[in-house]
Structure 1
Amino acid sequence: MKKILGIMSLLALNSLSAQFKIDIEAPAAFTPKEVYLYTLNGSKDVLNTKEIRKGNTWQFKVEKPYTGMLKLYFPEGNISLNFIAENKDVKLKFDSDKGKITNVQYLDESNFVMNNLQDVQQKKEYILPALVQIKDYYDSSTSFRKALNDEIARLSLSVADLSKYPFVQYYNSNYSKFLDKTTAKKDITHDEIIHYLSNSNDMLETSSLLRPVLMAYLNVGPSTNVANDVDKLLKAVNLETPRGQTILSELIEIFDTYGMADLKEKYLTEAKNLKCTINDRLSNTIATNKNTELGATFPNYVFQNPTNTTAKSIADVKASKKIIVFWSSTCSHCEAELPKLIEKYNAIKSQNAEVIAFSLDSEKANYDAKVKSLPWINDTELKGWYSSFAETYNVRATPTYFVLDSNNKIIAKPDHAADVISYLKLN
């Protein structure tokens, strides 16, 4: 009996050593070697592990149970690929063109079903209304009209039974209920969303639905008092629970992104005043905001590929004031605002001040072309929103500005280039 029990124990240990495997196959022409695997917590990617290419493949062993959205990130090319796990083995294969991923083949059943479902959802939302309008312009006997009718019928079909795929079923049913713009239904209410957020299982955090559902909650209207609506939600989800704290963190970030400063400060203060144990998600939100509040010492950053300087880091730059700018060559607001700083740059330098600009670009050619016209210190990681400084400095939108004193203390957080110019009295 002892021998049998010993064998059973070994089998149990082996089964726990890896919940499931992820196999990725790429063509030889796809050059990145390293890839990171991220799980999801609300709207935050959480690094799970990383692997080095072996031949044309990567293989991950996921040690803990996980059901939900996953992401591969190839840092050498700043390329990402999304897929799902049902706590079962995953297998993907893709082609590439000019360093970009193309023609992803989902070779496991769950991802194949999810991909087809999302394809139909997208077409229902963006294409189906147009097809319905277009078809009446063509005679019913034409082959094109028949093709239109076939596609309309396909997109209008009810979803097949998804009971074999718990996560796919969860995602589809809740996306349809709360977010699908094409679904014929009465307007969703605050109470319905509160019930969902309070009673959903753990797939809420891993589904990518939490942030958009919260946005839907804030947009239920008309509402005369957003704070009252948010207070009602937070009371229901209970801020002493991980779910409640993750929702509070998401709301603080939403208010920050959309420039709702009063609401951000109200709920950030509420987060700081909690007396219970705080989960990692909310702790990180509090810490990141603390790093970038007025009076805080701006965390130092070691330059990667700087232009127009021999300094090695922000701290090495000697200036009476340092104007920090986060921008991107694809940002239309940056296109409008940066020329205003260029115009005043000589006047800024005459005050012994300096501009230090960090780009959230991911395409080297775009960055190189733009940075030629920027006379100040520039740097980038070419990782877009995966750039380390986006998280460190709580950057939610571009452009974002900070003004530091000579000791790198934050003395102003202007909203626009014009506010920077006004603060420096250069009008």
Structure 2
Amino acid sequence: MMKNIFYFILFISSFANAQHVIKGTMNPKIETDWVILYKIEGTKQIFVSNTTIKTDSITLSGKKQAVGRFEFKLKPDAKPGAYRVNYRTEGAGFLDIFYNKENISFIFNPDYPEQTVSFSKSSENKLYQEYVETISKAQEKLDSIQIAALQNPKLDLKTRYINAFNKVNVVQNKYAELSKEKYIAPIIKASNQNNSAEILTSVEDYLFKVKNSFFNNLDFNKKTLINSSFLTDRIVSYIFYINYSDDSRTQQKLYKEAIDVVLYKINNQPYKRDIIEFLIVQFEAYKNLEIIDYLFENHYNKLPETLQSQKFKSEKIALFASEIGRIAPDFSWKENGKSFKLSTLNDAEKYVLVFWSTSCSHCMREIPELHSYLKNKKNIKVIAFALEDDAFVWENYSRTNLYGWHNVLGLNKWQNETAKTYQIFSTPSYFVLDKSKKIIAKPNEIDDVMEYFNQE
């Protein structure tokens, strides 16, 4: 009897500590030979494992097709969650799946991963894929009727709309029931779009409904939603697409309002920090300094100090220090024994700050052109910041050819601290400053400088 109990315990233990496998097949195989598995946690991807893609072949319609196969063996203590299979650094290069203590096997086209994936193993992913396909068809039908009513309010579409509305609810309720006790249950619940019970004939009413009910079924504190791309994707949709205007000033106002709405809903402070940092990076791509400043001043800086990353803040502040709209970073120099600071210069209405070098052939062509062009423009002053390895050539050249300018020597060339602050990677680099030293333009070359002042 004791022997039987012993084997029973071993049998149960083997299941508890079983290694599960994720198997993928790319059809067709791509040139990349690697694939990486991440676990999604908040806005971050946590590395799990990497492996190689092996070439194999399958027969389709009587023809052999080259495919790529890969396999990940998860550790026994691998946690349920959303995982990302990444096989490219850009473009359509990843596929998200759900793991919940079961083997997963799937085939997909690497160029269209979400649209083509088909699971042969994994009850979680099969059910979720079935749900997405079914609810999408039902929702598209409902949306098409709603759009027709907005385009022509005189059409009698009420009955068709109610039937389509009921169909969406039937599908939603069906899969909410089927997904009970499964990992994907909160995601299916959160996917409910909260459609209007009655057809709307006013565009304003429709947009108001969409905007004000967008988050009704989302629990911002649900770990399943936080640790997947689902919640982050919804936040992006709300801020960048639901709140949209063609007018730039209105758009900035909408961005701020949408950000406030989203961040007010998040009680999980570490996740709130991650979302703020994520949004700062998104707006960084558009160089939207006003919104980046707003995120820092009104949200990031108000987080508990233990959650704030000083490294992140300093990196982002430095990254945009020399963008249009910013006060030009200050620096000091000496001319004829006198000390000068950029911030206290007061001898012109506008300034051209140019980073150049005597070893730069483009500079040696453009700098004389700039000197000739501006020599009679008394309201414009040039600060010529020379990036040099030594002072010898610069001293002779600037003294002879660049009279009337503020000439600054920056030793250590590319490693010069001021050059790094201004993110200078090539010379010549031009900045136009107003009287208060705010950056008002960043011309690419000498012709752009002249065009800027010719238009005044």
Shift of 1:125: 5.3
Per the alignment, do residues 7 and 273 of structure 1 end up closer, same or farther by CA in structure 2, a change over 3 Å counting?
farther
Shift of 1:85: 1.1
Could you tell me which amino acid in structure 2 is paired with residue 409 of structure 1? K
Residue number in structure 1 paired with 2:307? 278
| Matches of 2:235 and 2:73, distance apart in 1 | 31
| Matches of 2:191 and 2:89, distance apart in 1 | 33
Shift of 1:105: 2.4
**Pair 1:105 & 2:118 matched:** yes
Residue number in structure 1 paired with 2:37? 37
Per the alignment, do residues 174 and 225 of structure 1 end up closer, same or farther by CA in structure 2, a change over 3 Å counting?
same
Could you tell me which amino acid in structure 2 is paired with residue 294 of structure 1? A
Could you tell me which amino acid in structure 2 is paired with residue 117 of structure 1? Y
Could you tell me which amino acid in structure 1 is paired with residue 72 of structure 2? F
Mapped contact 1:162–1:168 kept (Cα < 8 A): no
Mapped contact 2:98–2:124 kept (Cα < 8 A): yes
Mapped contact 2:80–2:99 kept (Cα < 8 A): yes
Residue number in structure 2 paired with 1:202? 224
Residue number in structure 1 paired with 2:187? 171
State the SS of the aligned residue for 2:230.
Answer: coil
| Unaligned 5+ runs, structure 2 | 57-68, 149-163, 201-205, 245-249, 324-353, 368-412, 425-430, 432-440, 452-456
- Given the two structures, how large is their TM-score scaled by the length of structure 1? 0.52
Deviations 1:342-383 (CA, angstroms, capped at 9, x unpaired): xxxx9778348xxxxxxxxxxxxxxxxxxxxxxxxxxxxxxx
Residue number in structure 1 paired with 2:365? 350
Q: Which has the larger radius of gyration?
A: 2
Mapped contact 1:35–1:51 kept (Cα < 8 A): yes
Shift of 1:82: 1.7
Q: 1:237 aligns with which of 243, 266, 271?
A: 266
Mapped contact 2:38–2:84 kept (Cα < 8 A): yes
Mapped contact 1:320–1:406 kept (Cα < 8 A): no
| Matches of 1:410 and 1:277, distance apart in 2 | 27
Deviations 1:112-142 (CA, angstroms, capped at 9, x unpaired): 23223333444455566558999xxxxxxxx
Residue number in structure 1 paired with 2:296? 268
Mapped contact 1:193–1:213 kept (Cα < 8 A): no
Mapped contact 2:35–2:52 kept (Cα < 8 A): yes
Deviations 1:252-311 (CA, angstroms, capped at 9, x unpaired): 3344455542231232355356444338xx788546525624279xxxxxxxxxxxxxxx
Shift of 1:93: 2.1
| Matches of 1:292 and 1:268, distance apart in 2 | 14
Moved more, 165-174 or 222-231: 222-231
State the SS of the aligned residue for 1:37.
Answer: strand
| Matches of 2:7 and 2:313, distance apart in 1 | 48
| Matches of 1:133 and 1:229, distance apart in 2 | 25
Mapped contact 2:321–2:421 kept (Cα < 8 A): yes
**Pair 1:247 & 2:247 matched:** no
**Pair 1:80 & 2:107 matched:** no
State the SS of the aligned residue for 2:209.
Answer: coil
Per the alignment, do residues 251 and 67 of structure 1 end up closer, same or farther by CA in structure 2, a change over 3 Å counting?
same
Spell out the pairing of 1:26-425 with structure 2 (5 A cutoff). Answer: 26=26, 30-54=30-54, 56=56, 57-63=69-75, 64-68=78-82, 70-75=83-88, 80-87=93-100, 88-94=102-108, 103-108=116-121, 109-124=123-138, 129-130=143-144, 158-159=170-171, 160-165=174-179, 166-177=182-193, 187=209, 193=215, 196-213=218-235, 215-216=237-238, 219=242, 227=256, 230-231=259-260, 234=263, 237-238=266-267, 241-257=269-285, 259-269=287-297, 270-271=299-300, 274-278=303-307, 286=313, 289-290=316-317, 292-294=319-321, 320=355, 350-351=365-366, 406-407=414-415, 408-411=419-422, 419-421=442-444, 425=449
Per the alignment, do residues 111 and 211 of structure 1 end up closer, same or farther by CA in structure 2, a change over 3 Å counting?
closer
Mapped contact 2:51–2:70 kept (Cα < 8 A): yes
| Matches of 2:29 and 2:257, distance apart in 1 | 55
Moved more, 154-163 or 43-52: 154-163
Shift of 1:23: 1.1
- Given the two structures, how large is their TM-score scaled by the length of structure 2? 0.49
Shift of 1:72: 2.0
Shift of 1:40: 2.3
Per the alignment, do residues 410 and 94 of structure 1 end up closer, same or farther by CA in structure 2, a change over 3 Å counting?
same
| Matches of 2:318 and 2:103, distance apart in 1 | 40
Mapped contact 1:43–1:208 kept (Cα < 8 A): no
Mapped contact 2:39–2:81 kept (Cα < 8 A): no
Mapped contact 2:319–2:423 kept (Cα < 8 A): no
| Matches of 1:202 and 1:170, distance apart in 2 | 7
State the SS of the aligned residue for 1:425.
Answer: helix
Could you tell me which amino acid in structure 2 is paired with residue 33 of structure 1? D
Could you tell me which amino acid in structure 1 is paired with residue 185 of structure 2? Q
Per the alignment, do residues 233 and 213 of structure 1 end up closer, same or farther by CA in structure 2, a change over 3 Å counting?
closer
Could you tell me which amino acid in structure 2 is paired with residue 247 of structure 1? I
Identity of aligned residues (%): 12
Shift of 1:34: 1.4
| Matches of 2:313 and 2:41, distance apart in 1 | 17
Per the alignment, do residues 216 and 13 of structure 1 end up closer, same or farther by CA in structure 2, a change over 3 Å counting?
same
| Matches of 2:290 and 2:364, distance apart in 1 | 34
State the SS of the aligned residue for 1:177.
Answer: coil
Aligned length in residues: 308
| Matches of 2:445 and 2:136, distance apart in 1 | 46
| Matches of 1:209 and 1:183, distance apart in 2 | 28
Shift of 1:177: 3.2
Mapped contact 1:72–1:82 kept (Cα < 8 A): yes
| Matches of 2:422 and 2:284, distance apart in 1 | 19
Shift of 1:35: 0.8
RMSD: 5.5
**Pair 1:15 & 2:38 matched:** no
| Matches of 2:89 and 2:287, distance apart in 1 | 33
Deviations 1:218-259 (CA, angstroms, capped at 9, x unpaired): 8569997865774575455347x3222223223433444555
Per the alignment, do residues 178 and 44 of structure 1 end up closer, same or farther by CA in structure 2, a change over 3 Å counting?
farther
| Matches of 1:113 and 1:228, distance apart in 2 | 37
State the SS of the aligned residue for 2:280.
Answer: helix
